[in-house]
């Protein structure tokens, strides 16, 4: 049985060790994860798989190990989804001057093109020559139809004169 688990709370030593022990104690496998610390808060999204007969005990153990100290969400995975082969995957990188609403504008452009955002990372960093804060978007997505990269680039670059769009693996 697969579980998608999110864990959020004050960062401290031993969170990953404790989580991995809970998975191992239930004969489970740690399949995937995304973990980061933001402003002193630990955030993690995990995919774990445990034998079906251990599923209820695993879920109970997670709750007793991490609540109320952490915000915990546990979802039993639904594997009935469209096959990946029927979707077109790609990676997009965007760099531009920081301003309010950039992620919303990016998300609107993606939604209008039926792009499902699978992963999204954003960062603020100073430009090399000027030190002006630049906003960086790195995303992977997929869509039912191949993406018209030229059209997407033109649409996003129309939002500002300093917008650079790249498709690194195309």
Residue 50 resides in a domain: yes
The residues, ordered by sequence, that sit 6+ positions from 33 with a Cβ below 8 Å of its Cβ are 44, 45, 46, 47
Domain assignment of residue 139, given as a range = 88-166
- 64 with 92, same domain: the answer is no
For residue 168, name the pLDDT band (cuts at 50, 70, 90): confident
The residues, ordered by sequence, that sit 6+ positions from 40 with a Cβ below 8 Å of its Cβ are 10, 11
Residue 81 resides in a domain: no
Phi then psi dihedrals of residue 80, to 5 deg: -85, 85
Asked whether 31 and 49 are in contact (CB, 8 A), the reply is yes
Residue 127 resides in a domain: yes
- 69 with 130, same domain: the answer is no
- 64 with 114, same domain: the answer is no
- 148 with 92, same domain: the answer is yes
Among 43, 76, 109, identify where a domain stops. Answer: 76
- 114 with 138, same domain: the answer is yes
CA distances from 96 to 14, 72, 128, 132 (A): 37, 35, 13, 10
Q: What is the pLDDT of residues 38-53, one digit of tens each?
A: 999 999 999 999 999 9
What CATH number does the domain containing 95 carry? 3.30.70.260
Residue 107 resides in a domain: yes
Residue 135 resides in a domain: yes
Q: What is the pLDDT of residues 109-163, one digit of tens each?
A: 999 999 999 999 999 999 888 888 899 999 999 999 988 899 989 998 888 888 8
The count of structural domains within the chain is 2
């Amino acid at each position: 049985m697969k579980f998608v688990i999110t864990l959020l709370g004050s960062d401290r030593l031993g969170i990953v060790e404790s989580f991995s022990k809970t998975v191992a104690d239930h004969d489970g496998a740690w399949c995937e994860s995304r973990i980061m610390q933001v402003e002193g808060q630990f955030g993690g999204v995990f995919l774990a798989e445990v034998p079906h007969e251990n599923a209820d005990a695993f879920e109970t153990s997670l709750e007793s190990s991490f609540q109320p100290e952490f915000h915990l969400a546990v979802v039993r995975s639904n594997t009935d989804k469209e096959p990946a082969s029927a979707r077109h995957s790609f990676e997009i990188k965007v760099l531009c001057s920081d301003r309010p609403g950039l992620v919303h504008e990016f998300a609107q452009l993606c939604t209008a093109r039926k792009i499902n955002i699978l992963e999204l990372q954003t960062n603020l960093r100073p430009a090399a020559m000027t030190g002006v804060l630049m906003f960086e978007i790195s995303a992977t997505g997929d869509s039912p139809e191949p993406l018209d990269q030229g059209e997407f680039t033109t649409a996003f670059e129309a939002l500002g004169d300093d917008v650079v769009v790249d498709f690194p693996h195309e």
